[in-house]
Chain A
Amino acid sequence: MSMQAEVIKQIKFGIFSQDQIKKLSVAKLTVPDTYNEDGYPIDGGLLDQRLGVIDPGLVCKTCGGRAKTCPGHFGHIELVRPVIHSEFAKIINMLLQATCQKCHRILLNNEQIGIFKEAMSKEIESEVAAGDLASDKHAEQAMLKKLKSVKKCPHCQTVQEKLKFSMPTYFYLGERRLKPDEIRDMLAKINDDDLTLIGVDPRTSRPEALVLNALLVPPVDVRPSITLETGERSEDDLTHKLVDIMRINQRLEQNINAGAPQIIIDDLWELLQYHVTTYFNNETSGIPPARHRSGRALKTIAQRLKGKEGRFRYNLSGKRVNYSARTVISVDPAIDIDEVGVPSAIAEKLTVPFYVTEWNLEAAKKLLERNEYPMVLNVVALDGKRKRILDTNKEELIKELKPGYILERQLRDGDIALFNRQPSLHRISIMAHRVKVLPGKTFRITYPATAPYNADFDGDEMNLHIPQTLEAQAEAKYLMAVQNQIFSPRDGAVIIANGWDGVIGTYLLTQDDSYMTKEDAEHLLSTAGIRELPKHSKNGMYSGKSVFSMLLPKGLDFEVPQGNGKFVIKDGELVEGVVDKKMYGEGRSNKLFAAIVMGYGFAALQDFLTKSSRLSYAFTTLFGVTIGVKEYMLTETLAKDKESTLADTQGRVKGLIEQYKSKKLEPLLGLTLRQSLEQTIMVELDLARGKAIQMLNKNTDESNFAMLMANSGARANILNMEQMSMFLGQQATREGGRIKRGYYTNRVVPHIAKNDSSSGAHGFVSNGFVDGLTPIEMIMHAVGGRGTVIQKGLLTQRSGYLQRRLANALQDYYVLHDNSVRDVNNNVIETIYGGDAIDPTKVEFSKQKKE
């Protein structure tokens, strides 16, 4: 098949006139039925063979084609009385409001018309120049609003009666109902020039066509009937609806011919209007939807197109793609961060094109000869026809193979693949990975690569796409590769890095007192793929810092402050400091990665990340890190200290309440006495928590693994520890103060005395999770917890939608070579990107350079 490429500049929609409908139609349909007793389509019925055929045996009476070749043809129904096209009722109303009820001219005098014409042409000019064809026409809308209130026609001086429109298709002039035929006459008398002013193009859309005399009937291909197993035929919803329309149309005709009373004719006319309205849209507001006998609402034209399951979002925007795969993801610390583990079952199905040239013809033949993975699945010949390789045609294909052929070979290690997790909220939700074919049924990625996808391994599924052209592969490889996404496009922070046990390992390894035997050093370094030992050892023992230094690029110099001291790397040797989450993990505090990239490139950073991860996991394993309840048990002294701190605090709170009651409390600036009491109590309770944390910190060392986790930055912090081992503290409310409401008499629960201001009565929990909460404390905790959950839900929902709207509005903007930001029509959005043309991913680099 030859193809002709043409660029569609614009599409213009218009409205078919009644004449056009009749010209387009191949058959006037008159019988409100489908098949006769013999099971043949009735002539003049809704499945008339002139409308096309879908049964394999039959021949189309219009084009002579069979089911596969006949495209289908439109027919029409002639309505004995006209009806309003309900989907256009609003436009009809607008037209009637804008024109005189007697002479049908636009309700503007000649001078106004002149001014308006000029304003409109200017607007169109500027819109065309800016490539903005679809914008609202402001001048027009402002005019139409004004026309509604014009009392007297400036052309024939007729006073305008009040015109009322009522959904979906009723129009009233004063008290009198306007019938569709009257409306049609009114619309027909509006002249072309006035229509142009209102914004209707009379060349493509005359408004009287909005009142239907003839109804276009879509071909049978659009509404195929299906045969059930029982042999019974079942018709499409549209066919059902068209049968209804024709039945009423026929009855209306019979009644008119028989001279029936007007009231009966009007009722039937109304019914005809109902059926036509629901034929276009069965969810028209103001009228009940038409239903099947089963009670299911019919799916008519609008329902086929609209919404999530409609033609647009489901079939057009939501097309399924070839060369893709989806499965559950899981972790694999043994692969590289820029790799993706692909199950062999998937690798055997997905293909990559091998373009045959005169230089690789021999290689191509060898590939084609293969009988096992990785082999060729399909061959695309010069005519573009794709042939599946079978044992029967293989020899033949090898013989005819020549430059220009394309071999579709199975996916193998090193191929480029795009990996994606929904929701795709930012550009790094899709990254390019190198394929690593593995046994098993899941996709595999490393822990550091989960961050940009926001993925975890609790059942998440991800999609894999194989780029098919060399250009696509190159773009993916150089622009979307994982190692190029390590720094955030938002602020240059590190987003792909190690965490959890990966951070604990480096933290423990690089402590000042960390030394190990030669055997341990060899084991650790070999897991990272390093086959040398550090140069220096002390009594046959190797320091953790020197082992870690083996991972660093040779000659790296790096220095930043750390705690009260410094973190120093000199000539590729870690001489001072500890590799914790702040130095080595996600976030803006990690400056080490930028230093490595600046001196040695992204490949070196990727290498460092991969090797240090493996070494770190191995060291964590070797060291043995585990936590249990014992980590949260208090020593006897600590338990005593806790009790005395709480007693102290409670005593002071009591004192404050006494002071308040005796009016001796010093009021705080700008607060009432009551508010001052609340405020001072809150401060007092916060202080207690601060003291508890201090005590815990002083009396616990890193032999407590919970403390180790907090200090290294791997997970949690001291507050979490304190809440478990000492006391939970004040529970928050959304208003910010202590918990006050709950039970109806100004107390949280009925078990508390009225007007009790003490700490326990308003959400202060003086037990930790280890000791266990009292029932009242548990209620307080639940109240606080629920508030937090609600707030979090509200916040993420709102900000998510906000962010999405922003991203959608900005997605097609791009930065031109002159650093200005443009849209697709070359409009200038910013003269300089961000006001300074700075690329946030490289901010940290420029800082490294200065030093």
Chain B
Amino acid sequence: MLSKREHELVPTHKVISHSDANSMLASFGISVYNLPKILVDDPQAKKLGAKAGDIIEIEREDFGKSYKYYRHVVER
């Protein structure tokens, strides 16, 4: 069956540590609220067991080049 959690087209999601999150935010010069959001009940957030307030790092790939994208986990 098709799985929203394990589909090959879904890029890799992972929850990053607080210290990693803080240094990432500092490098952009922003607060968590300036990041795009992801709902706690999003299939990927559920799979990772992410809690509201966590930051999820997404390894995206476009035209063969990969780069990191970040989302702030929020309550519905």
A820→B28 CA distance, assembly (Å): 8
Kindly state whether residue A831 has any CB partner on chain B within 8 Å. Answer: yes
Q: Are B33 and A835 in contact (CB under 8 A)?
A: no
A818→B67 CA distance, assembly (Å): 14
Q: Are B67 and A130 in contact (CB under 8 A)?
A: no
A825→B65 CA distance, assembly (Å): 28
Residue of B nearest to A127 (CB): B33
Kindly state whether residue A222 has any CB partner on chain B within 8 Å. Answer: no
Q: Contacts A126-B33, A129-B31, A826-B30; is A831 near B63 (CB within 8 Å)?
A: no
Q: Contacts A828-B28, A828-B70; is A836 near B63 (CB within 8 Å)?
A: yes
Choose one: B29, B32, B35, B60; the contact of A835 (CB below 8 Å): B60
Those of B14-33 within 8 Å (CB) of chain A: 27-33
Residues of chain A lying within 8 A (CB to CB) of residue B36: 827-829
Kindly state whether residue A776 has any CB partner on chain B within 8 Å. Answer: no
Residue of A nearest to B60 (CB): A835
Those of A503-550 within 8 Å (CB) of chain B: none
- The count of residues in chain A whose C-beta lies closer than 8 Å to any C-beta of chain B is 17
Residues of chain A lying within 8 A (CB to CB) of residue B74: 126
- The count of residues in chain B whose C-beta lies closer than 8 Å to any C-beta of chain A is 20
Residues of chain B lying within 8 A (CB to CB) of residue A126: 33, 74
Residues of chain B lying within 8 A (CB to CB) of residue A556: none
Kindly state whether residue A197 has any CB partner on chain B within 8 Å. Answer: no
Q: Are A835 and B63 in contact (CB under 8 A)?
A: yes
A831→B55 CA distance, assembly (Å): 14
Kindly state whether residue A832 has any CB partner on chain B within 8 Å. Answer: yes
Those of A823-843 within 8 Å (CB) of chain B: 825-832, 834-836
Q: Contacts A126-B74, A831-B67, A831-B69; is A826 near B34 (CB within 8 Å)?
A: yes
Kindly state whether residue B62 has any CB partner on chain A within 8 Å. Answer: yes
Choose one: A827, A828, A829, A835; the contact of B62 (CB below 8 Å): A835
Q: Are B31 and A836 in contact (CB under 8 A)?
A: no
Residues of chain B lying within 8 A (CB to CB) of residue A130: 33-34
Residues of chain A lying within 8 A (CB to CB) of residue B63: 835-836
Can you list 17 A-B pairs with a CB-CB distance of less than 8 A?
A: A129-B31, A129-B32, A129-B33, A129-B34, A130-B33, A818-B28, A825-B34, A826-B34, A827-B30, A828-B30, A828-B36, A829-B36, A834-B62, A835-B60, A835-B63, A836-B63, A836-B67
Q: Are B30 and A835 in contact (CB under 8 A)?
A: no
Q: Are B65 and A835 in contact (CB under 8 A)?
A: yes
Residues of chain B lying within 8 A (CB to CB) of residue A835: 60, 62-63, 65, 67
A834→B35 CA distance, assembly (Å): 17
A749→B66 CA distance, assembly (Å): 60
Residue of A nearest to B27 (CB): A818
Residue of A nearest to B33 (CB): A129
Most chain A CB within 10 A, of B30, B60, B63, B70, is at: B30
Q: Are A832 and B67 in contact (CB under 8 A)?
A: yes
A16→B74 CA distance, assembly (Å): 38
- State how many angstroms separate the Cβ of A829 from the closest Cβ of chain B: 8
A829→B74 CA distance, assembly (Å): 17
Residues of chain B lying within 8 A (CB to CB) of residue A829: 36
- State how many angstroms separate the Cβ of A744 from the closest Cβ of chain B: 48
Kindly state whether residue B68 has any CB partner on chain A within 8 Å. Answer: yes
A-B complex: 5 closest residue pairs judged by Cβ atoms: A129-B33, A835-B62, A130-B33, A827-B34, A832-B67
Q: Digitize A99-137: 1 where CB-to-B-CB distance is under 8 Å, 0 elsewhere.
A: 000000000000000000000001000100110000000
Residues of chain B lying within 8 A (CB to CB) of residue A818: 27-28
Q: Are B34 and A836 in contact (CB under 8 A)?
A: no
Most chain B CB within 10 A, of A126, A129, A820, A831, is at: A831
Those of B35-76 within 8 Å (CB) of chain A: 35-36, 60, 62-63, 65, 67-70, 74-75
Residue of A nearest to B37 (CB): A126
A489→B60 CA distance, assembly (Å): 24
Most chain A CB within 10 A, of B34, B63, B68, B74, is at: B34
Residues of chain B lying within 8 A (CB to CB) of residue A820: 28
Those of A442-491 within 8 Å (CB) of chain B: none
Choose one: A825, A826, A831; the contact of B70 (CB below 8 Å): A831
Given A129-B33, A826-B29: 18 more A-B contacts, CB < 8 Å: A129-B32, A129-B34, A130-B33, A818-B27, A818-B28, A820-B28, A827-B35, A827-B36, A828-B28, A828-B30, A828-B70, A831-B68, A831-B69, A835-B60, A835-B65, A835-B67, A836-B65, A836-B67
A122→B75 CA distance, assembly (Å): 10
A130→B75 CA distance, assembly (Å): 16
Residues of chain B lying within 8 A (CB to CB) of residue A129: 31-34
Residue of A nearest to B58 (CB): A831
A41→B75 CA distance, assembly (Å): 63
A836→B62 CA distance, assembly (Å): 8
A130→B33 CA distance, assembly (Å): 5
A825→B33 CA distance, assembly (Å): 10
A290→B66 CA distance, assembly (Å): 64
Residues of chain B lying within 8 A (CB to CB) of residue A830: 69
A69→B70 CA distance, assembly (Å): 58
Residues of chain A lying within 8 A (CB to CB) of residue B31: 129
Residue of A nearest to B24 (CB): A831
Residues of chain A lying within 8 A (CB to CB) of residue B75: 122
Residue of B nearest to A836 (CB): B65
Q: Digitize A495-506: 1 where CB-to-B-CB distance is under 8 Å, 0 elsewhere.
A: 000000000000
Q: Digitize A122-157: 1 where CB-to-B-CB distance is under 8 Å, 0 elsewhere.
A: 100010011000000000000000000000000000
Most chain B CB within 10 A, of A129, A827, A828, is at: A828
A826→B33 CA distance, assembly (Å): 10
Residues of chain A lying within 8 A (CB to CB) of residue B32: 129
Residues of chain A lying within 8 A (CB to CB) of residue B62: 834-836
Residue of A nearest to B25 (CB): A828
